[in-house]
Amino acid sequence: MGNSASRSDFEWVYTDQPHTQRRKEILAKYPAIKALMRPDPRLKWAVLVLVLMQLLACWLVRRLAWRWLLFWAYAFGGCVNHSLTLAIHDISHNAAFGTGCAARNRWLAVFANLPVGVPYAASFKKYHVDHHRYLGGDGLDVDVPTRLEGWFFCTPARKLLWLVLQPFFYSLRPLCVHPKAVTRMEVLNTLVQLAADVAIFALWGLKPMVYLLASSLLGLGLHPISGHFVAEHYMFLKGHETYSYYGPLNWITFNVGYHVEHHDFPSIPGYSLPLVRKMAPEYYDHLPQHHSWVKVLWDFVFEDSLGPYARVKRVYRLAKDGL
C-alpha cells in the first residue's frame, strides 16, 4: 500500500474541451435531438419520494442501536442521499421546470437538499456552471483537485483516504480554488436547512440527525455510487477527459453515468440522455467507457497512473465581463 503514483502533475492541454465541437456536429446531423431539451416532469415527483423515504427512515431509526443506525445509513441512506445530490445536479440545469422557471428549480433543489443535512444546493449551482463552461479550467473548475491533493494523496493508502474524505474536499475546495461572494439564495438555503434540522431533532431526537449526516458522509465517500466522481473525468486513457458509464446504477442516479452525453448536451435532463446515445451512436459507442463504478474505485486506488493528478487541465482566457 506504499507505492507512489507515477504522475507528478496534471495533464495540461492547449485545446478547447471536446464537447463544444461534438455538440455542433451532432446537432447539425441530428437536429431532432433539440426536442429532448425540455423539462422532465418526473423529476419533481422522484425528489418528493426520495425526501419522504428519508423522513420515514428518520422515524424508523430513532430507537435503533448505533451500529445498526450506521449500517442502514451506509446501505440505504447513503444511496438515497447520493441520489438526491444527483437530482440537485439535474435541477441545477433547470431540468425540473425549464429555464423559464428558475425560481421553482432553485426551491426544488433546496427541498431536495433537506435530507442531506447540510446546505449545499445553492452553492453547487453557483460553481457547477463553471465546470461546464470551463471544463478543466485552471482556477475555475473546482471539480479538479488542488495541487496539494495531487501531491499528498499519491499512494494506495492515501488515495483510499482521499476517497473516504470526498465530501469534505468537494465542500472546501471551492473556497480555496475559486471563492465567490455569498448569494441571497445560499443564505435562504442555509436558513431552510437549519430549520429542517432543528425540527427533526425536536421531533425525534439525535439519532435521526446522525442518520442523515452519516448517510451523506458515507454515501458520498467510499461508496459504490461514489465511483461516478472518479469515473466522469479522471484520465483513465490519455487523450480522453470525460467518460460514460452505462451500467445499472444509472437507474438510481438520474443517468449521471451518461456523462459524455451530459457534457455535450447539459440542457437535456438525465432521463433523456440514453436517447442521445441511441440517436447518435457513432459519436459515443466507440469512446472508452466504464462498466463498473466499483472497478473504477479499485483501479483508482491501485493503479500507479491514477490519482488526483490524473486530470486534464487547461488555461482559459476570460472575457472582460468575467464570462
**Alpha helices of 220-272 — where are they, by DSSP H?**
227-233, 259-264
Q: 118 with 213: CB under 8 angstroms?
A: yes
**Tens digits of pLDDT across the chain (323 residues):** 556 667 899 999 999 999 999 999 999 999 999 999 999 999 999 999 999 999 999 999 999 999 999 999 999 999 999 999 999 999 999 999 999 999 999 999 999 999 999 999 999 999 999 999 999 999 999 999 999 999 999 999 999 999 999 999 999 999 999 999 999 999 999 999 999 999 999 999 999 999 999 999 999 999 999 999 999 999 999 999 999 999 999 999 999 999 999 999 999 999 999 999 999 999 999 999 999 999 999 999 999 999 999 999 999 987 554 43
Alpha carbon distance 157, 155 (integer Å): 6
Task: List C-alpha distances in Å: 234 to 129, 150, 267.
Answer: 19, 12, 23
Q: Which of 164, 138, 155 is nearest to 230 (CA)?
A: 164
pLDDT of residue 253: 97
The three grid cell numbers given for residue 299, joined into one nine-digit string: 483501479
Q: What is the pLDDT of residue 322?
A: 40
Classify residue 289 by its DSSP letter. E
Ramachandran area for residue 136 (φ above 0: left; ψ -120 to 50: alpha; else beta)? left
pLDDT at residue 23, rounded to an integer: 97
Strand partners, 311: 234
194 CB-near residues (< 8 Å, 6+ apart): 119
Cell (9 digits) for 247:
451500467
Confidence (pLDDT) at 1: 55
Which pLDDT belongs to residue 4?
Answer: 65
Q: What is the pLDDT of residue 192?
A: 98
